[in-house]
Structure 1
Amino acid sequence: SGNWVWWAFLLTGMLTVFVYSKLWRRSGVLTDLEFYEIRYGGKSAAFLRGFRAIYLGVFFNVMIMATVCLAAIKIGGVMLGLSEIETLAIASIVTVLYSLLGGLRGVLITDFFQFILAMVGTVWAANLLLDLPEIGGLESLLANQKVASLTSFLPDFSDTEALIPLLIIPLAVQWWSVWYPGAEPGGGGYIAQRMLAAKDEQNAMGATLLFNIAHYALRPWPWIIIALCSVIVFPTLDSIQAAFPHIDESIINDDLAYPAMLTFLPAGLLGLVIASLVAAFMSTISTHLNWGSSYVVNDFYQRFVKPDASEKELVLVGRVSTLLLMVFAAVFALALSNALQAFNILMQIGAGTGLIFILRWFWWRINAWTEISGMVISFIVAVILEVIAPELVPGNYKLVVGVAITTVGWLAVTFLTQPESESTLKAFAEKVNPTVGWKNYRPETVAVSGNLPLQILAMFLGVTAVYTALFATGSVIYGNAAMGIGLATVSLLSVVALASMWKRL
């Protein structure tokens, strides 16, 4: 049930699929930061584009990549006996070369095959680990008292201490209010980059839907099974430390249990699993390197430093920025002890800004200062709650407090500042043609495109289809075939309903 912290982002993803993917594709921009200078005008829009190019493309991006590098450090140390420096050096050099040679098209093609390789490796590994003598098969695993309390899809509704942070906050607040890379409300980042690269609006919508299905319905269960096995084999952090005494004590945390379990695999499969993990690492890092360097080159260097730069110079800047991003991420990874640190910090910094990214497409009153104030306020609140006074607010409620303060702040700034110029608003409405909210600015010759109520319905059908598919798989694994069939039926009906309305979206 602890997975709801990230499962809740499925709502964000499906909102992007059915409401925003076509709008992004219609905008015609190269990166999502270009959007700022068609939605807003003047120096504030230019500042916003340039600042976010560095803020997101470098600062945020490095933090995310550092968590992935930390995972590589732990896997390299446990499975290959490599030191932190050795792991980072090998992984960084290979991935940077791979990213520089491939570009976005290469990243997209290899991502597809690397995902398949990673899934094959984890499914095979989960099946073999269930046969370990300590586990004794799937039935024995699920019957174990240590595991039984961890298998529920939902937290205990009578335990509010668990229910509020694990389910209520993610589903009621987090998904729409928090900016998090890869799960941005309204789309953005590398998700927007891929939608913008799609052939047309229908392909943008279909590709984003496929990503959400693969990410939330297909990926979780092999990892969950291996994690449950680790509860029996490595019940405490001390047991992991005892099994791998060469690992630095500072990085011994719960997330080390996964690679620790993989060391029990036979040599041939171990090689395949290591290859799948390398593929997952390279896929993730190359995506972020490509995303970050595109921000640095297109939205900062070419826009503000040297607008007349030659193609050759831009390629060079892109390669240098790719290399530097990798170096910064590797160095920062050495300062982390677990990925949850960075995840919580990123969530807190993004708290309260999500609604801006949802509404800016439909509410003409939002201006550049809305976004600037949202960034500033959320960052200040995050520093106070996470660094200056971490005990000021109970941990479970920090996100809610951050969302409340930031939202009130940017709403106040919105109404205290002037809206964008009429010419800017009219140009945006004509180019992007949002479904609602622009009646006074849309040219009379431009017909309204899309049906927002139908798109919202499609979003909830998509969410239902994926969640029920996810839990149908879990029910079958847990031995509840009847529940599995029932959930699978609901999932199939949701898919049929979606297919019937696809062309009208």
Structure 2
Amino acid sequence: MNFNSLDVIIMIAYLLMLVIIGVIGARRAKSPEDYVLAGRNLGFFMYFGCLGAVILGGASTIGATKLGYEFGVSGMWLVVMLGLGIMLLGVFLAKRISKLSVMTISEYLSKRFGVEVGLVSALIAATYAMMVSVTQVIGMGTILNVLLDWNLSVSMLVGGGIVLFYTILGGMWSVTMTDIVQFVIKTVGIFFIMLPLGISKAGGWAGLQANLPDTYFSFSGIGGHQIFKYFLLFALGMVVAQDIWQRILTAKTIKIARAGTVAAGLYSLFYGLAVAIIGMCAFVIVPNLGDTQNAFASMAVTILPSGVLGLVIAAVVSALMSTASGTLLASSTLISNDIIKRFFKKDVTDKQYLKLSRIVTTVIGILTIVCALWIQDVLVALDVAYAVLSGGIFAPVILGLFWKRATGKAAFYAIIASSIVILAGLAIQGITATTPIIYGIAVSFVVMIVVSLATKQSDELNIAS
């Protein structure tokens, strides 16, 4: 293994830098809006970098490399659909979202449809965000397990603990500041080191063609069914993801919000292709892996020289930590703002809310690490997260924004009905099944439309529609 003391020094220096940034971020988080939305004051480059960092995390890097190892270039579709979703959000919804005077997607639904809808959507969206955090902790554990030969559980505890520490300190300001550093390191590590060196070590493109099956060069090699599943899960899921809505609300202007989401989506397309090709190179360079989830880390320690290896691993850890911190904060914001503050502590002061947010972030972080220790599979955790999210609240959010006739009662029953259909279907057919998601989304739209037409709209709840 090439990982030596120089690489360890680089990794330790990087992690210490994140802790320092977390402390600095804590000094800037002086109000709830600072803690949750970074003061709604980000310019284009900071906004674009933060979006790119939060979208492309552990599942995008480790998961897409695994798919590239197993299926070839078509493994890119997981990340491509994330990029497509963020672009759809930027083009069609960013302007509407930016105009909303809310902190969370559930707060919008509560104002649009009533407190019951806000409550159930908060629970679903918070669960989704926490499960995405779980995928990142699993990814960090996988990397540290391969490189340092630590026990997988210990590796998850270390990685998850560091993210939890700096997120608790400064909230969105800490997350934003660390995301910019992580975005730069990740871009350099993937595009300028790992990808060209991987292709070179595999014998160039000609070497890949000579050593890989023809299906590895087909964009449909993974199967149309799987590509459609990724569209349902990730493209639609991105549109109603709290962590993405929360980032959109950090933009200084609507123009920045829209342009930044489109730029981040385009970046995701190139990232997905790059990581899938890295997985193809891994198939040639380190064949017969027992666990293909280790494809990226195994190839890194095989082909990279000392020092460079430390930088690339820091890049992967950057991808993991940026998404983990963003989704962890999103989950805690939903619980703090839309459940505890709304139903239990209505008269909380700004100072008390900051303290509450940090406490809730701590609790959610601990639950995240526990779930990661239990599940231990990146793609399984990601499937569960996006299945519940896209099926549960996609229809109420979209119809709420674009159809004035949609009612609160319809939204409530649509969320409940679709969630039951999806969870029951996944329990019966398995968590990798696609049809429960299709049925759940269909049920949600049907219930929304039918019940809305059969009930009256409450005028006082009909906002932003």
When the two structures are superposed, what TM-score results if normalisation uses the length of structure 1?
0.71
Indicate the residue corresponding to 1:267 in structure 2: 306
Equivalent of 1:407 in 417, 422, 445: 445
Matched, 1:220 2:272: yes
Closer, same or farther: CA 419–207 of 1 in aligned 2, 3 Å: farther
**Aligned pairs (5 A) from 1:293-372:** 293-349=332-388, 350-351=390-391, 353-372=393-412
Equivalent AA in structure 2 for residue 79 of structure 1: L
Indicate the residue corresponding to 2:130 in structure 1: 62
Indicate the residue corresponding to 1:48 in structure 2: 117
Aligned residue-pair number: 389
Q: Does structure 2 conserve the Cα–Cα contact (< 8 Å) formed by 1:353 and 1:407?
A: no
Measure, in 2, the Cα distance between the counterparts of 1:352 and 1:300: 18
Deviations 1:59-85 (A, max 9, x none): 222221111111111111111211123
Q: Does structure 2 conserve the Cα–Cα contact (< 8 Å) formed by 1:121 and 1:273?
A: yes
Q: Does structure 2 conserve the Cα–Cα contact (< 8 Å) formed by 1:121 and 1:276?
A: yes
Measure, in 1, the Cα distance between the counterparts of 2:348 and 2:459: 32
**Aligned pairs (5 A) from 1:81-480:** 81-123=149-191, 124-132=193-201, 135-146=202-213, 148-155=214-221, 162-163=223-224, 165-167=225-227, 178=236, 180=237, 183-184=238-239, 187-217=240-270, 219-236=271-288, 240-241=289-290, 252=291, 254-264=292-302, 265-349=304-388, 350-351=390-391, 353-387=393-427, 389-390=428-429, 395-416=433-454, 418-425=455-462, 428=463, 432=464
Q: Does structure 1 conserve the Cα–Cα contact (< 8 Å) formed by 2:243 and 2:330?
A: yes
Equivalent AA in structure 2 for residue 422 of structure 1: D
Measure, in 1, the Cα distance between the counterparts of 2:254 and 2:212: 50
Closer, same or farther: CA 175–267 of 1 in aligned 2, 3 Å: closer
Equivalent AA in structure 1 for residue 447 of structure 2: G
Deviations 1:309-329 (A, max 9, x none): 232322221111111111111
Equivalent AA in structure 2 for residue 151 of structure 1: F
Closer, same or farther: CA 421–409 of 1 in aligned 2, 3 Å: closer
Tell me the SS of whatever aligns to 2:374: coil
In the TM superposition, residue 270 of structure 1 has moved relative to its aligned partner by 0.9
Q: Does structure 2 conserve the Cα–Cα contact (< 8 Å) formed by 1:155 and 1:167?
A: no
In the TM superposition, residue 104 of structure 1 has moved relative to its aligned partner by 1.1
In the TM superposition, residue 279 of structure 1 has moved relative to its aligned partner by 1.6
Structure 1 unaligned spans of 5+: 157-161, 242-251, 435-505
Structure 2 unaligned spans of 5+: 1-73
Deviations 1:117-173 (A, max 9, x none): 0111122022223343xx223321233233x321222349xxxxx33x0345656x6
Measure, in 2, the Cα distance between the counterparts of 1:119 and 1:312: 37
Deviations 1:210-261 (A, max 9, x none): 22222223x223312220012223443xxx34xxxxxxxxxx3x22212111
Deviations 1:274-317 (A, max 9, x none): 21122222211111122122222222222211111232322221
Q: Does structure 2 conserve the Cα–Cα contact (< 8 Å) formed by 1:79 and 1:262?
A: no
Measure, in 2, the Cα distance between the counterparts of 1:103 and 1:207: 21
In the TM superposition, residue 19 of structure 1 has moved relative to its aligned partner by 2.0
Equivalent AA in structure 2 for residue 338 of structure 1: D
Indicate the residue corresponding to 1:446 in structure 2: none
Indicate the residue corresponding to 1:39 in structure 2: 112
In the TM superposition, residue 383 of structure 1 has moved relative to its aligned partner by 2.5
Q: Does structure 2 conserve the Cα–Cα contact (< 8 Å) formed by 1:5 and 1:166?
A: no
Measure, in 2, the Cα distance between the counterparts of 1:328 and 1:284: 16
Closer, same or farther: CA 25–121 of 1 in aligned 2, 3 Å: same
Closer, same or farther: CA 399–308 of 1 in aligned 2, 3 Å: closer
Measure, in 2, the Cα distance between the counterparts of 1:2 and 1:384: 28
Deviations 1:374-396 (A, max 9, x none): 22122211222221x227x9945
RMSD: 2.6
Equivalent AA in structure 1 for residue 120 of structure 2: F
Measure, in 2, the Cα distance between the counterparts of 1:278 and 1:169: 27
Equivalent AA in structure 1 for residue 250 of structure 2: A
Closer, same or farther: CA 355–405 of 1 in aligned 2, 3 Å: closer
In the TM superposition, residue 397 of structure 1 has moved relative to its aligned partner by 3.6
When the two structures are superposed, what TM-score results if normalisation uses the length of structure 2?
0.76
Measure, in 1, the Cα distance between the counterparts of 2:230 and 2:370: 31
Measure, in 2, the Cα distance between the counterparts of 1:394 and 1:95: 28
Q: Does structure 1 conserve the Cα–Cα contact (< 8 Å) formed by 2:110 and 2:118?
A: yes
Measure, in 2, the Cα distance between the counterparts of 1:175 and 1:88: 25
Closer, same or farther: CA 307–190 of 1 in aligned 2, 3 Å: same
Closer, same or farther: CA 228–316 of 1 in aligned 2, 3 Å: same
Deviations 1:385-437 (A, max 9, x none): 221x227x994544333333343333333333x23223443xx2xxx4x6xxx
Measure, in 1, the Cα distance between the counterparts of 2:182 and 2:326: 12
Equivalent AA in structure 1 for residue 247 of structure 2: R
In the TM superposition, residue 196 of structure 1 has moved relative to its aligned partner by 1.7
Closer, same or farther: CA 406–48 of 1 in aligned 2, 3 Å: closer
Deviations 1:93-114 (A, max 9, x none): 2212211233213322321221
Structure richer in helix, relative to its length: 2
Tell me the SS of whatever aligns to 1:302: helix
Q: Does structure 1 conserve the Cα–Cα contact (< 8 Å) formed by 2:76 and 2:275?
A: no
Equivalent AA in structure 2 for residue 271 of structure 1: G
Which structure's CA Rg is the greater one? 1
In the TM superposition, residue 23 of structure 1 has moved relative to its aligned partner by 0.9
Relative contact order (alpha carbons < 8 A, sep ≥ 6): 1 or 2 greater? 2
Sequence identity, in percent?
A: 24
Deviations 1:432-461 (A, max 9, x none): 4x6xxxxxxxxxxxxxxxxxxxxxxxxxxx
